[in-house]
Copies of this chain bind each other. A is one copy, B any other.
């Protein structure tokens, strides 16, 4: 388990923005002197590897401040006091219209040293389309189902893939046939 990126209890919030909070504290150095240390907090995020039969749901997404579209998986920020799994279910339904009753937490990663921020990645098996998508004014998202090899290709070879924090684990699977088979079993069950 990687070292946790946290702020000490005596840290003070010095700024609160729309997404980011800035926290500072006096940190004792190795020679006994003090320095002001700084870290950020931001809402955790939850994202979903959603499967339908032996296919994985992948998105082509646009955002208003980006020049071009990029591949992604469903996901987004947790609402205030929302649990990660609840956020994953909500984002999957909003962005794709799919639901599942078979969820498992695959990884929880803190991708950046100086930010208190955890990315929760869930696997949602046997998804079923329940209703049309309902996108925010700031979202343009198209979804499609791809097979495992195509998913791995997009996620590990397209440098615009929007979830870089899971790429090392996916690459490690390409190095280990056993790990890759276990991952496939997680994604698709007994298919």
Query: Chain A interface (Cβ within 8 Å of chain B)?
Result: 1-3, 8, 14-15, 17-20, 22, 24, 27-31, 33, 35-38, 40, 64-68, 70, 111-115, 136-140, 156, 159-160, 162, 164, 167-168, 171-172, 174-175
Contact of A29 among B111, B138, B172 (CB under 8 A): B138
Determine if B30 and A70 form an interchain contact, defined as CB atoms under 8 angstroms apart. no
Determine if B38 and A162 form an interchain contact, defined as CB atoms under 8 angstroms apart. no
Copies of this chain per assembly: 2
Which secondary structure dominates chain A's binding surface? loop
Contacts A17-B24, A167-B168; A64 near B30 (Cβ below 8 A): yes
Determine if A17 and B14 form an interchain contact, defined as CB atoms under 8 angstroms apart. yes
Further contacts, 6 of them, CB under 8 A, given A3-B67, A30-B139: A3-B70, A3-B160, A15-B15, A18-B37, A29-B64, A29-B136
